[in-house]
Amino acid sequence: MDMVENNMKTKPLDKSKEINSVPLLQLDELSVYYGENHAVKNVSMPIEENKVTAFIGPSGCGKSTLLRTINRMNDQISIARYEGNIEYEGLNLLEKNIDVVALRKEIGMVFQEPNPFPKPIKENITHALKFMGMKKKDMEEVVENSLKQAAIWDEVKDRLKSSALSLSGGQQQRLCIARALALKPRVLLLDEPTSALDPISSAKVEDLIIELKKHYTIVIVTHNMEQAARISDNTAFMYNGDLVEFGNTSQLFTNPKEKRTEDYISGKFS
Ligand SMILES: Nc1ncnc2c1ncn2[C@@H]1O[C@H](COP(=O)(O)OP(=O)(O)OP(=O)(O)O)[C@@H](O)[C@H]1O
């Protein structure tokens, strides 16, 4: 996908936080400010391809800000500004000339509250495809495939013309995931995608995330440490804007290197 006017080279990266494979995204000395508030402080970490990376940490530590910076959602906040690099395919995604619309197709996002359009189920998928000029017969295939990938096809295939708002919260969230998948992203950013759902719906979304990582790279913000332990391969623990510890999830949960990580995962503070 062509996301820039001119191809550009990024400066050499700090590889100190790198893990075994070549990462799809590399965050390098990334800082995000809201006015004077330094919300994310010099974060460097890799995001591996076809893995689930979880961001955990107490409320206000900068998890969502970090997530939203990856596909430039924070551009919509006038007082937000950032420094550093997010390297992806040889580009720095924070450069001004990045086409953020193309970027958000390639790095899609699903939010905490399911937010389907108040339109028929099928139109939730086809809405963006129409704008992209896709032919009707190609759309049928994309609708079916993306609903199947989001593990909701069997539940909706006979009611595609019903309003998306007639679905349960968990079904709505899987529809939102299908809507993001229809744009053929490489990366999915999930901001607490199960926190508004009941346990059964949450479990379905967790199963779906594990299935989706075969084809997509997933980054998830979660307050739920059991969830991070269950579904993620790598975990970043943040505290007060700092990346305190990053590493393999089972290692971080069973043998954390930092005292603050240990205190957080053992429930000494929340
Ligand atoms: N739109 C905004 N405008 C100004 N400041 C913001 C904005 N969004 C977040 N912040 C500030 O940035 C810091 C980090 O917030 P952020 O929402 O990223 O944390 P979080 O770890 O995701 O929290 P939570 O778990 O409660 O969602 C906080 O100090 C917060 O007040």
d(CA 27, CA 124): 32
CA angle 73, 223, 214 (to 5 degrees): 70
Asked, for residue 202, whether it belongs to a domain, the answer is yes
Residue to substitute in 65, 82, 194, 270 for testing ligand 1 pocket (most ligand atoms within 8 angstroms of CB): 65
- Domain CATH for 91: 3.40.50.300
The reported pTM is 0.91
Total residues found in the chain within this entry: 270
pLDDT truncated to tens, each residue of the chain (270 aa)?
566 544 333 334 343 444 556 799 999 999 999 999 999 999 999 999 999 999 999 999 999 999 999 999 999 999 999 999 999 999 999 999 999 999 999 999 999 999 999 999 999 999 999 988 999 999 999 999 999 999 999 999 999 999 999 999 999 999 999 999 999 999 999 999 999 889 998 999 999 999 999 999 999 999 999 999 999 999 999 999 999 999 999 999 999 999 999 999 998 877
Amino acid identity at 124: N
- When computed from its CA atoms, the radius of gyration of the chain, rounded to whole angstroms, is 19
The closest alpha carbon to 62, from 238, 265, 219, belongs to 238
- pLDDT at 253 (0 to 100): 97
Asked, for residue 5, whether it belongs to a domain, the answer is no
Report the complex ipTM.
Answer: 0.98
Asked, for residue 270, whether it belongs to a domain, the answer is no
Ligand 1 atom showing the smallest separation from residue 64 Cα = 22
E strand spans, the chain: 23-34, 37-48, 52-56, 80-88, 91-92, 107-110, 187-191, 217-221, 234-239, 242-248
- State the DSSP code for 38: E
Which structural domain, as residue segments, surrounds residue 160? 15-265
Total domains present in the chain: 1
d(CA 203, CA 237): 23
Which residue's C-alpha comes closest to atom 31 of ligand 1? 60
Determine the distance separating the centroid of ligand 1 and the alpha carbon of 128, expressed in angstroms. Answer: 29
Asked, for residue 1, whether it belongs to a domain, the answer is no
